[in-house]
């Protein structure tokens, strides 16, 4: 059974502190008014009107110094959302809001909220009211996924920084991986040195840009191998490897078997 994206929505008002706790699902927070200080894994960050941020289920969070805080919260399945929005998950905004910033908070880093315009916040509040009545289901999944993409499109960071550059690097690699780009090409696109990009990318994504790019190519290659339409050499070229021998070596390191063996197993040969 296909996993539901949307789980629940809440519109609330808070004057008092909230003890630290965890939830079973990820949460999209949208601040409608007032102020509070969010505590995530022990680190404090101020939340201002029109702020928007995402917390995953594996972080502990609460609120202190709350003053007339109005909010709406959407609980959702993070993996199901990524699957539902398809290639839009590779966009700069989605990567920043739903991937990089939550990952940073989860790993003990200091989050920096993004913010939206009043009209988008009003639309989010109206959507929360509808979803709170509607509950789980296909219609709710569609409404929430559309809202998530709208928020990504409208959200801007309070002071652009390194995370935006990493999100841009992720998007660039996902679009250009088949063109045999290198990490040096990605760094040049951003105006960074290769060393500086590697440091930032590893900090915010947990892997080096070289490893991310290689895994991206190998995962795409595995999909093509299972379709049995192209030869191993053709697949190697189509995902950005310069020759089939290098491709075979990297594929065996990642999947524990050669591309040919993987194809046979996938096709049941």
Q: What is the pLDDT of residues 200-212, one digit of tens each?
A: 999 888 899 999 9
1 domain-assigned: no
Read off the pLDDT band of 179 (50, 70, 90).
confident
pLDDT, one tens digit per residue, over 71-124 is 999 999 999 999 999 989 988 889 889 988 888 787 776 666 788 888 899 999
- pLDDT at residue 27 in the model: 96
- Domain of 76, CATH number, reads 2.60.120.280
| Helix boundaries (H) for the chain | 78-85, 92-94, 101-106, 118-134, 138-154, 162-176, 183-190, 194-205, 209-227, 232-238, 244-255, 259-267
Domain check: are 167 and 138 in the same one?
no
Domain count, the chain: 3
CB 159 within 8 A of CB 38: no
Q: Specify which residues 31 forms β-bridges with.
A: 71
What is the span of the domain harbouring residue 92?
6-157
Domain check: are 232 and 188 in the same one?
no
Q: Kindly tell me if the per-residue pLDDT of 133 is higher than 70.
A: yes
Domain check: are 191 and 106 in the same one?
no
Domain check: are 21 and 153 in the same one?
yes
Domain check: are 10 and 138 in the same one?
yes
- pLDDT at residue 158 in the model: 62
Q: Specify which residues 144 forms β-bridges with.
A: none
DSSP state of 96: I
As given in the structure block, the two tokens for residue 217 are: 């190519």
For the whole prediction, is pTM greater than 0.85? no
- Domain of 261, CATH number, reads 1.10.10.60
- pLDDT at residue 161 in the model: 66
Which of 212, 202, 203 is CA-nearest to residue 254? 212
CA quadruple 225, 208, 157, 80: dihedral positive or negative?
Answer: positive
- pLDDT at residue 1 in the model: 56
Q: Kindly tell me if the per-residue pLDDT of 227 is higher than 70.
A: yes
Q: Which range, of 25-29, 168-172, 228-232, averages the lowest pLDDT? A: 168-172
- pLDDT at residue 102 in the model: 87
% of the chain at pLDDT higher than 90? 55
Domain check: are 82 and 183 in the same one?
no
């Amino acid at each position: 059974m296909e996993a539901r994206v949307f789980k629940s929505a809440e519109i609330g008002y808070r004057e008092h502190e909230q003890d630290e706790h965890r939830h079973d699902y990820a949460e999209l927070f949208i601040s409608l008014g007032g102020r509070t200080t969010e505590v995530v894994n022990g680190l404090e960050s101020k939340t201002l009107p029109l702020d928007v941020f995402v917390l995953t289920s594996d972080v502990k969070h609460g609120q202190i110094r709350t003053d007339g805080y109005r909010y709406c919260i959407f609980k959702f399945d993070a993996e199901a959302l990524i699957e539902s929005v398809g290639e839009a998950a590779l966009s700069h905004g989605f990567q920043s809001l739903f991937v990089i910033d939550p990952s940073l908070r989860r790993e003990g880093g200091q989050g920096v909220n993004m913010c939206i315009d009043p009209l988008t916040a009003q639309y989010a509040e109206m959507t929360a009211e509808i979803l709170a009545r509607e509950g789980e289901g296909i219609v709710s999944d569609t409404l929430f996924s559309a809202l998530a993409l709208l928020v990504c499109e409208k959200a801007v960071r309070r002071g652009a920084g390194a995370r935006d550059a990493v999100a841009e690097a992720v998007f660039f690699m996902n679009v250009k991986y088949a063109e045999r780009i290198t990490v040096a090409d990605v760094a040049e696109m951003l105006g960074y040195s290769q060393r500086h990009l590697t440091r930032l990318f590893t900090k915010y994504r947990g892997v080096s840009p070289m490893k991310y790019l290689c895994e991206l190519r190998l995962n795409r290659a595995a999909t093509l191998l299972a379709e049995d339409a192209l030869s191993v050499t053709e697949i190697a070229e189509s995902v950005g490897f310069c020759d089939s021998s290098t491709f075979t070596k990297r594929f065996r390191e990642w999947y524990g078997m050669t591309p040919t063996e993987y194809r046979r197993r996938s096709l049941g040969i």
